[in-house]
Structure 1
Amino acid sequence: MSNHDVISTDVLIVGGGPSGLATAIELANQLKEKGEEKRIMLIEKGSEIGSHILSGAVIRPKVFKDLLTAEEFDGIPFDSQVTTDVTVKLNDSGEMVLPFHPPYMNNDGNYIASLGKVCKYLATIAEAKGVEIYTGFSVDDMLYNADGKVAGVKTKDTGLDHNGEKQKNYQEGTVVEASITVLAEGTRGSLAKKVIDRFNLDSGKNPQIYSLGVKEIWSVPEGNIEAGAVYHTFGFPLKDKSEFGGGFIYGLTDNRVALGLVVGLDYADPSFDTHAAMQIWKTHPYVSKFLEGGKVIEFGAKTLPEGGWNSMPKYFDDNLMIVGDSAGFLTTARLKGIHLGVRSGICAARTAMSAFEKGDTSKNTLVEYEERVNKSFIYKEMYPIRNMRAVMNDGMVLGGLKMGVQLVTGGTCLFVPKTISDADETQKISDYKGVPFTERFAGKLEWDKKITFDKVTGVFHSKAMHDEHQPVHLVVNNQAQFQSSNIEEYGLPVAAACPAEVYELHTDRNTGAKSLRLHAENCVHCKTCDIKSPNGGITWTTPYGGDGPEYSNM
């Protein structure tokens, strides 16, 4: 590639997840219906569609009927329809099965699936409709025209060494100019962060807050679990009012189990470790019975945007729309966002079609995206529980009562706690007055390699790989501040928060000096470090295209 490598397209979609693919498919549908031709390009950083996709996933299927033909819908590779749906309160020594479903948690008519496999299928549908899909290309910069408006993107330069020096195989990234750019990067999108900051799109909004989900897939003996069985847990090992989250256990075909623990990243304890908490959760008899005699076959992790309606940025601007997790389309109460992401893609595609018909891709026309969202089930589902995540900081009892009030009042609730960013919720070691995670679970943090495993074993099962000669994609923004604050005052909380042992706190045996050691090759692209690091200490950037995990069934 050279400085002159420029590609032009009518619509550029960055990201090959459900929202990006839905945008591509619906726009292709609209163009065919109108008898028009436009070029639609989709760029995905994973080596193939689905390789960076992870979700639970229990999917609400109805939205796909608005996107696909009946024949296309019938081909979706759902794993199994939900047949059992149970919610369980765990404690240290036992469990209690709830005799009712918490509001929004009913899964009647839903399907368990590998979202990665669903996305692979959607990609074949999109390509059959004329969408150009390019995998293995990382995008790391936005392009702006002379008026400062979005004009496209630039893919990542390759062939650089650790210091950013050009090597013999250096290739400059390609400029992709587009009339409309749609960002579908998933949670905490790198480009979305840049445009939200540049155009102040989060003005007047609550800060977005996140959770981290750590997931494993197991092969188990016949009879351990039935395909279609869904179990959700809350309680153990999380501490009420200090950690928000719960576990999931899903029965898959071929005697497989998908299970994981999802924990909000707004905890105060700088030593809390979601990966370790999941390993402890698996030792509970209610959970371990599903795994007995089995073996782990895949591991992964991702973050989810949990802030809700009040934390969503303005998701359009001149020549720009943001869809799916990048915009925050997720309902924490349902533990679901796939159907919202698909609907956001449909709304964005129809808005793009309208913009082309009017010959106007400015925000004066793209505001129709917001209008379509507000008229869709997205608004009806998200707005009435806009304060749900905030009130749950009051604990399961009081927070649950406030949640009930919101369901009656349409979201209005007194005494809603202020939403604070996850990084700012992290306390310094000297300020934290609770019992540190390692002390709470002393004696339970040795992994047996049968039910419980260390982080490096998880990385192995994620099949994560990175070119180790490239510049490190995890950027420490201020080395001096990071040393004096993140390490000395906080004790490097990202070392515990990261589920893949990317960050290591090294202590010199002779001097006692503490320092950071980075193992960027372990990264599974969850972006927890970018979210949770105090002082904005770490920025996650895209590594070379094709690098990262290679998920097969996530």
Structure 2
Amino acid sequence: MERESMEFDVLIVGAGPAGLAAAIRLKQRAGEAGRELSVCVIEKAAEVGAHILSGAVMDPRALDELIPDWKAQGAPLDTPVSEDRVLFLNPTGGRRIPNALLPTCFLNHGNYIVRLGHVVKWLGEQAEALGVEVYPGFAGAEILYDASGAVAGVATGDMGLTRDGEPGPNHQPGMALLAKYTLFAEGCRGHLGKQLEARFDLRQGVDPQTYGIGLKELWEVPAECYRPGLVVHTAGWPLPADTYGGGFVYHLADTLVAVGYVVGLNYSNPHLSPFEEFQRYKTHPEIRQYLEGGKRLAYGARAIAAGGLQSQPKLVFPGGALIGDDAGFLNAARIKGSHAAIKSGMLAAEAAFDALAAGRGGDELNEFPAAFRASWLHEELHRTRNFKPYMKRGLWLGSVLFGIDQQLLRGKAPWTLHNRADHDTLKPAAECPPIDYPKPDGVLSFDRLSSVFLSNTHHEEDQPCHLRLKDAAVPIAVNLAKYDAPEQRYCPAGVYEIVRDETGQNPRLQINAQNCVHCKTCDIKDPTQNIDWVVPQGGEGPIYAGM
């Protein structure tokens, strides 16, 4: 069957903060100019916000610019930060750092603790009210190009394919969505963004991107454990000092607490399991005091782009642009990305609208990166650009160096440090100490499968596997032999499993794709880059309730 097609002025792939901010700003500009402008947003999740996962403490600066009366419009920013606490943990206790000694990027006065999925859902409603066509359940599966090689839009994925890729009885071909400009807002490690980087050589002259994996749970806690507006950030235990990472506890409204842990994916010990480190983290006395007697409501995980400006690709190419975390706009030092995503979407929208008003289409929106370089967002990201490279030197040395960078040099050091690709950092398993993780107690710590259950993840089993191996022999010949199959541990959802026959021999990799929470960690950390994450059928994956 031939694909049906639809044409728009601007197509946006991904209904997160960046994509929806871009759509809203495009329609605002069109209204101000009295012009007709067709804008379409597609989203792979079953509903807007369902694949959104973040801490999240939100800086409202960009939202103030996008929708100045957001409070009157009912934006779900309900919990202003009331107190910051930063702790360095050891196995039995911790030391609080006085706020007066903290770099300003660690302080959150004027910010809000939010459930980002709810904020994104609200942004989707604002976009639709302005006339944006928003289509959840449609995954951008393929980039379309015109005769000159410029991006012309995307094709959504076919529905109803069988496991071997053949049309099944309920097969429906994807649609071709065409546009004069296409903005890619897929979030961290977007699979189409990765293809665009390769096709247009967008990473020429820049560092590799570097990532973390963030794991999060939402808890309902007893009133005596609850401190509305409290923001707790920690470093140290349970990770060794040479491994970047840290935890957070955010007290939301209605006795809800978000607890989470981030592990830098540049770690070297293949025995390390970010999921188990998170479970251990919750048992620490400084953390368990906020959770004891509570009930775990939700779980999820997502990769985070943390490389900073030096790892940001070229933002534009013929026919479109990368925005939000598809381009690595997150500020790792501030542990924030939603404000940066919104601002990047607004800047790209301004450039696209002006180009269309001038009768252009299909060319490079060079006004976007120029506007970014002149913006407060570039200034903010430039000031903290050395955070991740410093922290790769170890917790204590990195903290001291970054403190000097921020407090004494005010982020204006005359040098920019460099990043290394995360997949290239693992040492052979034989050279690293095994890690003995305790069994989950079912009270504060849990296993993977019960956690995945709380993510409401669903995939139709009779469809092509969306976790593709470039070489089927590598998982055993290389990953198992050299690294003791680290995919069993870096995956937070139990997707990858080494199974053997009844004699304990003949190992093979089993991929439980139905468990996948779309975190993209495997696509990032696999040591030979043998795993390629692509979109499953539209509407599948986790359904996060305000995560």
TM bucket normalised to smaller? over 0.9
Report the equivalent of 2:136: 135
Corresponding position: 1:23 with 2:32: no
Distance 1:400 1:414, change over 3 A: farther
Aligned length: 543
Counterpart mapping for 1:283-298 below 5 A: 283-298=283-298
Cα distance, 1:247–1:511 mapped onto 2, change above 3 Å: closer
- Secondary structure, in 3 states, of the residue corresponding to 1:51? coil
Structure 1 position 481, deviation (Å): 2.7
Q: CA deviation at 1:343?
A: 0.3
**1:394 partner SS:** coil
Other-structure match for 1:6: 5
Q: Which runs of 4+ in 1 moved over 6 A?
A: none
Unaligned runs of 5+ in 2: none
The yes-or-no answer on 1:167 pairing with 2:168 is yes
Equivalent AA in structure 2 for residue 524 of structure 1: V
What are the residue-to-residue correspondences of 1:26-425 with 2, within 5 Å?
26-70=25-69, 74-100=73-99, 102-103=102-103, 104-241=105-242, 243-364=243-364, 366-407=365-406, 408=409, 410-412=411-413, 416=417, 418-425=418-425
Deviations 1:315-338 (A, max 9, x none): 111111111000000111101111
Pair 1:4–1:498, CA change in 2 (3 A): closer
Structure 1 CA distance for aligned equivalents of residues 255 and 518 of structure 2: 28
Larger mean Cα displacement after TM superposition, 454-463 or 74-83: 74-83
Of all paired residues, the percent bearing the same amino acid is: 40
2:478 aligned with 1:479:
no
Could you tell me which residue of structure 1 aligns to residue 428 of structure 2?
428
SS at the partner of 2:483?
coil
Could you tell me how far apart the structure 2 residues matched to 1:187 and 1:339 are? 15
Equivalent pair of 1:406/1:413 in contact (CA under 8 Å): no
Moved more, 224-233 or 383-392: 383-392
Distance 1:504 1:4, change over 3 A: closer
Q: In structure 2, give the amino acid aligned to 1:239.
A: P
Deviation at 1:387, TM superposition (A): 2.2
User: What is the CA distance between 1:252 and its match in structure 2?
Assistant: 1.5
Bigger mean CA offset, 105-114 vs 384-393: 384-393
Normalising by the residue count of structure 1, what TM-score does the alignment of the two structures yield? 0.95
2:167 is matched by which residue type in structure 1?
A: K
| Residue 402 of structure 1: how far off its partner (Å) | 2.7
Output the amino acid matched with 1:301: A
Q: CA deviation at 1:117?
A: 0.3
Distance 2:72 2:306 in 1: 29
Deviations 1:415-456 (A, max 9, x none): 94x5221111122223x3x322x2xxx3x4201111110010
Counterpart CA distance in 1 for 2:513 and 2:255 is: 34
> Residue 479 and residue 369 in structure 1: after superposition, are their counterparts in 2 closer, same or farther (change >3 A)?
same
Could you tell me how far 1:401 is from its partner in structure 2?
3.3
- Asked if structure 2 preserves the Cα contact closer than 8 Å seen for 1:316 and 1:363, the reply is no
**Aligned 8 A contact 2:181 2:362 in 1:** no
- Residues 102/396 of structure 1: CA separation in 2 closer, same or farther (3 Å cut): farther
- C-alpha distance in 2, partners of 1:274/1:73? 41
Instruction: Tell me the alpha carbon deviations over residues 103-143 of structure 1, each in whole angstroms, 9 at most, x when there is no partner.
Output: 11110011001000001111111001000000001111100
Whether the aligned pair in 2 keeps the contact of 1:27 and 1:349 (CA below 8 Å) is yes
Secondary structure, in 3 states, of the residue corresponding to 1:535? coil
Q: Deviations over 1:492-520 (max 9, x none)?
A: 11110000001111133415222111111
Contact 1:487-1:515 within 8 A present in 2 as well: no
CA RMSD of aligned residues (A): 1.5
SS in structure 1 at match of 2:134: strand
Q: In structure 1, give the amino acid aligned to 2:191.
A: S
Secondary structure at the counterpart of residue 211 of structure 1? strand
Q: CA deviation at 1:62?
A: 2.0
What secondary structure sits across from 1:488 in the alignment? helix
Q: How does the TM-score come out when normalised to structure 2?
A: 0.97
Q: 1:312 to 1:73 in 2, by over 3 A?
A: farther
Shift of 1:47: 0.5
Instruction: Name structure 1 gaps, 5 residues minimum.
Output: none
Deviation track 1:457-503 (CA, whole Å, cap 9, x = no partner) reads 11011010111111111001111233211222222111100000011
- Conserved? CA contact 1:387–1:411, under 8 Å: no
Quote the Cα distance in structure 1 between the aligned partners of 2:509 and 2:370: 47
Quick one: distance in 2 between partners of 1:295 and 1:511?
39
Is the contact made by 1:212 and 1:263 (CA closer than 8 Å) also made in structure 2?
yes
1:381-428: CA deviations, max 9, x gaps? Answer: 111222221121112332233324433174436694x52211111222
Aligned to 1:545: 538
**Whole-angstrom distance in 2 between the partners of 1:400 and 1:501:** 33
- CA distance in 1 between counterparts of 2:237 and 2:203 reads 35
